[in-house]
């Protein structure tokens, strides 16, 4: 299967006459300084609303899926990560990477905007959902990583992470559904 | 006025002065030096450059030229006084000037010859009591150094065996089952799915590159695990299928 390459050329369309910026997929975006966007997001998070960030992640995932030409699940992990990290970087949200710890996937986001870890986790969860991961959640750990788990396992993993447990131990405490210890 | 014109005027004035009767000289001025002869005057005026007097057509100039004495040999005046030639120094004086500098005093027979080698006398050996005293003075230093650097038994007792016990108590990876990852540690992932290259020039990587290299070594005693999915969808589905044990 041919792995498409990400082409950043023409990703943004600047309509100067109309005063609008649109992505390649046609979504209109608003360019905001970081010191203005971050307080707005924190205000929403203070009210317990992470939907906005989840929607932003979903939008990023949709952009990446658009560049991949659909059928994201059949692509190689490297190809998908390459496209996703390019889209995330074009939105100025940091450098994304994907790791595998045992059977578990772990996401890192270096150089992200100064947002709470839960907010970034919501963003990444929305992104993975848009890429085909139904009910995907990204639980932050104390070392700055995000463990990808199902929504049903998110609370338990979140409790472990609050105790300082790292991704390796969390992966060891997880097992495929139906497998008892 | 050109040089020729000035010369004509000068010659005319000389001829006029010659024609005038000279006043009688006083006796007191008999010792005074006579004026320089005319030949010397012409020599001073760069006589060799003068043209031949016969070429002048002026009658006064002809008359002056006829009365002017012949010019002396100019080259003798220009040479000046030759430097006197000194007689060559006798060979004895030349040798003496080389052998002795101007301010050097001659060596006398009572002083030792500077070029004669001086025999080196051996240093007297220290007596046994003095050597013992010297050794005693160095002993404190020697007694300190082994305590600090010598590998004694006490040094072996300070090896961090206790540190290992303390470290084992906090070693988390021991509580991790072998199937948790490649080495069971908490510091490194089994695989990192990064972009194949820079995002602008991403190249596809063969699916075999994502398989963990050391995972089989960590799972020797455990049942053989299923191979890691080679697609992004497979990885994501397997991850989302995990639940707490």
Flag if B186 and A6 touch (Cβ within 8 Å). Answer: no
Flag if A177 and B191 touch (Cβ within 8 Å). Answer: no
Flag if A168 and B184 touch (Cβ within 8 Å). Answer: yes
Å from A158 to nearest chain B CA? 12
Q: Is residue B9, in this structure, part of any structural domain at all?
A: yes
Contact (Cβ atoms closer than 8 angstroms) between residue B50 and residue B10: no
Which of A72, A89, A157 minimises the CB distance to B233? A72
Residue identified by tokens 């010859």 is B113
Flag if A97 and B244 touch (Cβ within 8 Å). Answer: no
pLDDT band at B191 (very low <50, low <70, confident <90, very high): confident
Å from B149 to nearest chain A CA? 42
pLDDT band at B16 (very low <50, low <70, confident <90, very high): confident
- For chain B, positions 139-178, list CB contacts with chain A under 8 A: 172-173, 175-177
DSSP code, position A75? S
Q: Is residue B42, in this structure, part of any structural domain at all?
A: yes
Flag if A176 and B242 touch (Cβ within 8 Å). Answer: yes
Residue B103's SS3 state is coil
Q: Is residue B154, in this structure, part of any structural domain at all?
A: no
Residue A22's SS3 state is strand
Residue A28's SS3 state is strand
Least confident of B24-33, B83-92, B161-170, B213-222: B161-170
DSSP code, position B162? H
Which of B177, B196, B239 minimises the CB distance to A148? B239
Flag if A79 and B202 touch (Cβ within 8 Å). Answer: yes
Q: Is residue B188, in this structure, part of any structural domain at all?
A: no
Contact (Cβ atoms closer than 8 angstroms) between residue A148 and residue A128: yes
pLDDT tens track, chain A, 181 positions = 678 888 888 899 999 999 999 988 888 999 999 899 888 888 888 888 888 899 999 999 999 998 998 789 999 999 999 999 999 999 999 999 999 998 999 999 999 998 889 999 999 999 999 999 899 999 999 999 999 999 999 999 999 999 999 999 999 999 998 665 5
Residue B184 has pLDDT above 50, yes or no: no
Query: Measuring CA to CA, which residue among B179, B244, B223, B185 is closest to residue A175?
Result: B244
Domain range enclosing B41: 1-18+35-73
Q: Is residue B164, in this structure, part of any structural domain at all?
A: no
Quote ipTM for the complex.
Answer: 0.92
Q: A40: burial class by Cβ within 10 Å (0-12, 13-18, 19+)?
A: exposed
Q: Is residue B13, in this structure, part of any structural domain at all?
A: yes
Q: Chain B residue closest to A134 (CA)?
A: B240
- pTM: predicted TM-score of the whole model, two decimal places: 0.51
Å from B209 to nearest chain A CA? 10
Q: Is residue B227, in this structure, part of any structural domain at all?
A: no
């Amino acid at each position: 299967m041919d792995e498409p390459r990400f082409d950043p050329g023409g990703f943004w369309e600047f309509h100067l006459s109309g005063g609008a910026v649109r992505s390649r997929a046609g979504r209109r975006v608003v360019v905001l300084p970081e010191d203005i966007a971050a307080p707005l997001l924190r205000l929403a998070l203070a009210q317990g609303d992470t939907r906005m960030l989840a929607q932003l992640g979903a939008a990023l995932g949709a952009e990446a899926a658009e560049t991949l030409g659909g059928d994201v699940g059949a692509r190689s992990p490297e190809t998908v990560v390459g496209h996703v990290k390019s889209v995330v970087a074009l939105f100025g949200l940091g450098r994304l990477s994907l790791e595998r710890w045992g059977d578990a996937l772990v996401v890192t986001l270096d150089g992200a905007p100064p947002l709470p870890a839960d907010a970034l986790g919501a963003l990444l969860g929305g992104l993975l959902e848009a890429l085909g991961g139904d009910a995907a959640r990204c639980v932050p750990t104390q070392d700055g990583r995000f463990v990808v788990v199902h929504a049903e396992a998110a609370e338990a993993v979140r409790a472990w992470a609050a105790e300082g447990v790292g991704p390796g131990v969390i992966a060891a405490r997880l097992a495929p559904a139906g497998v008892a210890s | 006025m050109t040089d020729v014109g000035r010369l004509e005027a000068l010659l005319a004035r000389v001829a006029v002065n010659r024609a005038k009767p000279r006043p009688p000289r006083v006796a007191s001025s008999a010792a005074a030096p006579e004026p320089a002869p005319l030949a010397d005057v012409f020599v001073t005026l760069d006589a060799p450059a003068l043209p031949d007097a016969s070429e002048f057509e002026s009658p006064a100039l002809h008359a002056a030229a006829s009365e002017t004495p012949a010019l002396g040999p100019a080259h003798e005046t220009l040479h000046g006084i030759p430097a006197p030639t000194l007689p060559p120094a006798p060979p004895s004086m030349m040798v003496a000037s080389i052998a002795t500098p101007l301010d050097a005093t001659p060596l006398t027979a009572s002083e030792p010859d500077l070029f004669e080698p001086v025999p080196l006398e051996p240093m007297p050996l220290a007596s046994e009591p003095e050597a013992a005293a010297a050794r005693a003075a160095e002993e404190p230093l020697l007694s300190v150094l082994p305590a600090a650097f010598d590998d004694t038994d006490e040094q072996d007792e300070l090896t961090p065996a206790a540190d290992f016990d303390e470290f084992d108590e906090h070693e988390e990876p021991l509580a991790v089952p072998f199937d948790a990852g490649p080495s069971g540690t908490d510091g490194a992932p089994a695989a990192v799915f990064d972009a194949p290259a820079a995002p602008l020039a991403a190249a596809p990587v063969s699916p075999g590159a994502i398989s963990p290299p050391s995972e089989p070594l960590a799972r020797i005693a455990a049942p053989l695990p299923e191979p890691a999915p080679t697609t992004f969808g497979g990885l994501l589905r397997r991850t989302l299928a995990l639940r707490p044990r």
